[in-house]
Structure 1
Amino acid sequence: MPMRNRIKEFVDSRGISVYQFWQETGISRTTAYSLYNNSAQYLGRDVMDAICSRYNIQPDILLKWIPAQELNNGD
């Protein structure tokens, strides 16, 4: 399934650092930085729950579906 995480967008829009994001969510440091730096990084269920619970948001804020055609075109 062609999905991308939007963690970088989310963190930047809140005006917080990745360090603060990591501290506030309680997810592992490696996971926090990987999600921020790599939009193809998968958000596991526990990670998604930790982020959504901490910021009181819905998962659609953190994910973006990319149509296969766009992936094939390199967009």
Structure 2
Amino acid sequence: MPYIPCCVQCHTRENPCHCKVVGPTLGFVGFALFALVEWPVGALVWCFRHHKGRRIMRHPANVVYPRIAAAVPI
């Protein structure tokens, strides 16, 4: 049986049960997919332009995960 990631965020005010499972889990999956592409690209860019490479490698954690996790209220 394959491992299925499940993320839980408690004490939220976005729904009646004050707990989110679907949004954070989809956010993690999106983060992982984007990180597979952007981290090697960021590492390559970092060799020439340090600031730009760091910004590329931060993108999945700073932009992708929060937007996907916040888009799904449950």
Give the TM-score, by structure 2 length.
0.30
Larger Rg: 1 or 2? 2
Higher helix share: 2
Give the TM-score, by structure 1 length.
0.29
